[in-house]
Amino acid sequence: MSQLSDFRSDTVTKPSPEMLEAMSTAAVGDDVFGDDPTVNALEKRVAQMFGKEAALFAATGSLTNQLAIRSLVKPGEELLTELTSHIVRAELGAGATFSGITTRTWEGHRGSFKASEVMRIASPDAGPYLVSTKAIAIENSHNFGGGYVQSFDEIKELRKASSAVGINMHLDGARIWNAHVASGIALKDFGSQFDTISVCFSKGLGAPIGSAILSTSERIADSRIWRKRYGGGMRQVGFLAAAANYALDNNISRLKLDHANAKAIAEACAAISPSLIDSTSVETNIVALNLSGTSITANELNNQLKEAGILAAALGPKFLRIVTHLDITETDLAKILEALPKLLKRALVA
């Protein structure tokens, strides 16, 4: 079989030769002691990109999310977020396990929200016998929502309403780069609406490892202690920070190509049946196929795609996710555009 075309996630990319060169020549030091110059420069840079005072580099987006929410919510207090958000669906109960945080969720179409609905369920000061809401987490773009880009008007409305009653806001911006490119909203405008932000350099941007939490200097200083407490302190990690810096220099504007490739896949699937996906809703790099109107399961379709030399991700009995990224070639795109519609057509008539 020829080389597999990997559409499972935008985390599967390999460093380019140019990125590897940047990594191999990076100046490094001991980051636990705070003397890795490449890490320090990256942290300062990304904080400034979003208009924040400080940032902290960490290995994963799950860790930066958890550092952020624990800085906003005390044990026994409440975080509100969407039902399918990464924080509650894909971080294995870390908020409760490590920080004693309780969560409540709203269900939004493709991970979306209405500020009025979120505030309707919020309890900013529930008294001594009920749980008080201390923070709200918004994911943008929304992974399990098929790369949905949140309405900036709703973000601003929620910020205004929540801050009026003392509720903080966290942005899970693992794919904020995609939301930024798709919407045209400036990164500093996103930053102005949130107390803490988590960004990822290994989703979409192509770095091998790395995320950052952004906030005030005080919160970041406390998060640095908790990163060490969680076992997340790193030493000569400037090699990885150099990859993130290279990604910021070179790989943000090119995300529009990933978005165009995802749109092409979505349109090919919608041409088979509009029940599979609304191609007009695909704004970023994620194609979320709804197979409930077919005779095939996501696992079965995934296996058939693998036989055709294509990897995708079955994330539910009838939910197949396809993600485009910088390692997808024209050959890869042509392969999936040929194979996937045929398999879907067969499943619809079976």
CATH code of the domain in which 329 resides: 3.90.1150.10
**Mean pLDDT confidence for 306-316:** 96
Report if residue 168 sits inside a domain: yes
Provide φ and ψ at 200, rounded to 5°. Answer: -120, 135
Q: CA nearest 47: which of 214, 178, 274?
A: 214
Q: CA nearest 272: which of 349, 346, 347, 345?
A: 345
Q: Are residues 244 and 279 in the same domain?
A: no
Q: What is the pLDDT of residue 2?
A: 67
pLDDT of 48 > 70? The answer is yes
Q: What is the mean pLDDT of the chain?
A: 97
Q: Are residues 302 and 238 in the same domain?
A: no
Half-sphere exposure of 93 (CA within 13 A, CB side): 3
**Mean pLDDT confidence for 261-287:** 97
Q: Are residues 234 and 262 in the same domain?
A: no
Helix axes 330-349, 298-307, angle to 10 degrees: 130
Q: Are residues 278 and 220 in the same domain?
A: no
Residue 43, both tokens? 């942290």
CB atoms within 10 A of CB 201: 28
4 DSSP assignment: P
Residue 97's pLDDT band (boundaries 50, 70, 90)?
very high
Q: What is the pLDDT of residue 1?
A: 47
Report if residue 59 sits inside a domain: yes
Helix, strand, coil percent values for the chain (each to nearest 5):
45, 15, 40
Q: Are residues 280 and 179 in the same domain?
A: no
Q: Are strands 196-200 and 286-290 parallel, antiparallel or unpaired?
A: unpaired
Q: Are residues 135 and 183 in the same domain?
A: yes
Residues 21, 15: Cα–Cα separation, whole Å: 10
Residue 349's pLDDT band (boundaries 50, 70, 90)?
confident
Residue 86's pLDDT band (boundaries 50, 70, 90)?
very high
**Mean pLDDT confidence for 288-306:** 95
3-state secondary structure of 27: coil
Q: What is the pLDDT of residue 13?
A: 97
Tell me the CATH number at 129.
3.40.640.10
Report if residue 189 sits inside a domain: yes
Residue 175, both tokens? 């794919």
pLDDT of 182 > 70? The answer is yes
Q: Are residues 235 and 296 in the same domain?
A: no
The burial of 143, by beta-carbon neighbours within 10 Å (0-12 exposed, 13-18 middle, 19 or more buried), is given as buried
**Mean pLDDT confidence for 98-122:** 97
Q: Are residues 319 and 258 in the same domain?
A: yes
Report if residue 12 sits inside a domain: no
Report if residue 6 sits inside a domain: no
- ∠ CA 88-94-97, nearest 5°, is 125
- Full domain range(s) for residue 144: 17-250
Q: Are residues 276 and 189 in the same domain?
A: no
Are 162 and 168 contacting, i.e. CB atoms less than 8 angstroms apart? yes
- ∠ CA 77-80-82, nearest 5°, is 150
Q: Are residues 201 and 262 in the same domain?
A: no
Whole-structure pTM value: 0.96
Report if residue 9 sits inside a domain: no
Q: Are residues 73 and 171 in the same domain?
A: yes
Report if residue 51 sits inside a domain: yes
Are 200 and 62 contacting, i.e. CB atoms less than 8 angstroms apart? no
- Domain boundary among the residues 234, 250, 266 is at 250
How many domains are there within the chain?
2
Are 134 and 168 contacting, i.e. CB atoms less than 8 angstroms apart? yes
Q: Are residues 181 and 267 in the same domain?
A: no
- Domain boundary among the residues 224, 250, 276 is at 250
